[in-house]
């Protein structure tokens, strides 16, 4: 099924595919996967190579184009682009508190969601490739963040029909456990805090004041959630984006109003905090986040809320201890904690499901190291120096392990550089592929 739309500068075509829930049992239950084909206006009938965009996440739908903007503008110079809503997201068969409730109890929900990792996403893409391009058709990949993790899985499972792969901020540690990932992450997040407080020194007092208030009186959010001090600290996820430090600062500026009984947190602040903290639009990000690191050969145990456990090794992130002194309260980053399934209404019904996934010990491997070591698909990767979300050292370690990988290390952009740089980051990688850099 497909339909076509015209937006200034581009022509889009909708595609919906039926894919097996479990690719190991193709005759069983099936789900839908949606993809949007985008081509430059006037080039609809040209023979163009395909570029598949694999979104970050997990649990994020592909971007919705409004024209020839940003990286898409550069891609459309050379490619026909396919924006894939990975299974469970966007217009693909959704997986959230509403739809999962129909699947039965938490154990049944967890078994269902165990099929929503990178290996299944790659097999979906391969089925789609065959339907759109034929058995021998080939295309290129652009993997942003978690989409880069999926790209490495694609190179491990089905590289035969890939022309090239571009990765932005997404070279995962191939044999790094969840514990190792977060053990490396907390010091990076602390550095981002230091950078923010150096840029906006007045925010040291602003954050301390809000944190002290929330320790005593957690606040109700407009959507029914609860802003605890730990949830407030989670706003530090903003510090990994190009404009995130400024966004956080401006949010803090409007934190207080003078109410009938004295100062209170403003509706403006609470609504802004909710917009950054709620998982209503991407619940799989929380439910499946640590499972993206689960591999049988890496860690025989469960991921078991690694971010929460490892946090105890970094007492600087203890807000109440910080408030007992006179130093800054550190905000956290891209970490998922079990208490989020209490404070967020979109996650509360999935609490037991998430717990079962955290306890799971039989995750299959996502990367084939021998195959990656002999990889023949050209890979061009942007690695951001001190990326808050993906460890730079782990990324360079992976680049060394994947044959044919060329890396551009830059401190000009943050993790979201492919989006915030306009055409720049993708253009650099394409010029590397063309031998122009």
Residue range 289-333, pLDDT digits in tens: 999 999 988 876 799 999 999 999 999 999 999 999 999 999 999
Identify the band that residue 224 occupies on the pLDDT scale cut at 50, 70 and 90: very high
Alpha-carbon span 409 to 402, nearest angstrom: 16
Residue 437 confidence (pLDDT): 86
**In this predicted model, what pLDDT tens digit does every residue of 8-23 receive, in sequence order?**
999 999 999 999 999 9
Share of the chain above pLDDT 70, in %: 99
Identify the band that residue 2 occupies on the pLDDT scale cut at 50, 70 and 90: low
**In this predicted model, what pLDDT tens digit does every residue of 156-199 receive, in sequence order?**
999 999 999 999 999 999 999 999 999 999 999 999 999 999 99
Q: Is the pLDDT of residue 138 over 80?
A: yes
Residue 3 confidence (pLDDT): 87
Q: Is the pLDDT of residue 1 over 60?
A: no
380 forms beta bridges with 166, 406
Instruction: Tell me the average pLDDT across 111-138.
Output: 97
Residue 139 confidence (pLDDT): 98
Q: Return the active site residues.
A: 145, 362, 415
Q: Is the pLDDT of residue 33 over 80?
A: yes
Identify the band that residue 436 occupies on the pLDDT scale cut at 50, 70 and 90: very high
**In this predicted model, what pLDDT tens digit does every residue of 241-296 receive, in sequence order?**
999 999 999 999 999 999 998 899 999 999 999 999 999 999 999 999 999 999 98
Mean pLDDT of all residues in the chain? 96
Which stretches within 266-318 are classed as H helix?
A: 267-277, 283-288, 306-311
Residue 298 confidence (pLDDT): 86
Q: Provide φ and ψ at 238, rounded to 5°.
A: -65, -25
Q: Is the pLDDT of residue 27 over 80?
A: yes
Q: How far is CA 203 from CA 264, 299, 315, in A?
A: 18, 40, 21
Residue 394 confidence (pLDDT): 97
Alpha-carbon span 390 to 91, nearest angstrom: 28
Nearest CA to 113 out of 337, 323, 356, 413 is that of 356
Residue 233 confidence (pLDDT): 98
Nearest CA to 43 out of 6, 95, 84, 93 is that of 6
Exposure string of 53-73, with b = 16+ CB inside 10 Å and e = fewer, is: bbbbbbbbbbbebeebebbbb
Instruction: Tell me the average pLDDT across 227-248.
Output: 97
**Residue 401: CA count within 13 A, CB half-sphere:** 20
Ordered by where they begin, the domains of the chain are: 3-174+367-434 (3.40.50.1820), 178-359 (no CATH)
Share of the chain above pLDDT 90, in %: 97
């Amino acid at each position: 099924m497909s339909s076509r739309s015209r937006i200034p500068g581009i022509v889009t075509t909708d595609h919906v595919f039926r894919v097996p829930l479990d690719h190991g049992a193709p005759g069983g239950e099936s789900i839908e996967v949606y993809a949007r084909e985008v081509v430059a206006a006037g080039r609809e009938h040209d023979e163009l190579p395909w570029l598949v965009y694999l979104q970050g996440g997990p649990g994020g739908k592909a971007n919705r184009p409004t024209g020839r903007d940003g990286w898409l503008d550069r891609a459309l110079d050379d490619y026909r682009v396919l924006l894939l809503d990975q299974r469970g997201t966007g217009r693909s068969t959704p997986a959230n508190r509403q739809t999962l409730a129909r699947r039965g109890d938490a154990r049944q929900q967890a078994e269902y969601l165990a099929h929503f990792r990178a290996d299944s996403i790659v097999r979906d893409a391969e089925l789609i490739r065959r339907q759109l391009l034929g058995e021998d058709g080939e295309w290129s990949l652009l993997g942003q963040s978690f989409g880069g993790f999926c790209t490495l899985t694609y190179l491990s499972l089905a590289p035969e029909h890939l022309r090239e792969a571009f990765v932005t901020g997404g070279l995962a540690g191939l044999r790094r456990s969840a514990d190792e990932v977060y053990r490396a992450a907390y010091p990076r997040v602390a550095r981002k805090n230091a950078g923010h407080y150096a840029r906006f020194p007045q925010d040291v007092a602003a954050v301390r004041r809000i944190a002290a208030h929330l320790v005593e009186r957690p606040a109700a959010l407009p959507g029914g959630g609860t802003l605890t001090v730990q949830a407030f600290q989670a706003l530090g996820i903003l510090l990994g984006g190009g404009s995130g430090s400024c966004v956080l600062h401006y949010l803090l500026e409007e934190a207080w109003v003078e109410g009938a009984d004295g100062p209170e947190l403003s509706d403006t602040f609470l609504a802004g905090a909710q917009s950054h903290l709620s998982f209503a639009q991407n619940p799989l990000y929380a439910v499946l986040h640590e499972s993206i690191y689960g591999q049988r050969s890496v860690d025989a145990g469960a991921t078991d809320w690694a971010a929460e456990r490892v946090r105890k090794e970094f007492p600087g992130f203890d807000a109440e201890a910080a408030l007992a002194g006179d130093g800054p309260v550190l905000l956290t980053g891209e970490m998922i904690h079990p208490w989020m399934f209490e404070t967020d209404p979109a996650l509360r019904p999935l609490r037991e499901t998430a717990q079962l996934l955290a306890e799971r010990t039989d995750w299959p491997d996502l990367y084939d190291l021998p195959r990656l070591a002999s990889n023949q698909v050209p890979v061009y990767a942007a690695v951001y120096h001190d990326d808050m979300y993906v460890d730079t050292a782990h990324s360079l370690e992976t680049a060394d392990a994947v044959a044919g990988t060329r890396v551009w290390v830059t401190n000009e952009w943050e993790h979201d550089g492919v989006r915030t740089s306009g055409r720049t980051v993708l253009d650099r990688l394409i010029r590397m592929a063309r031998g122009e850099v």
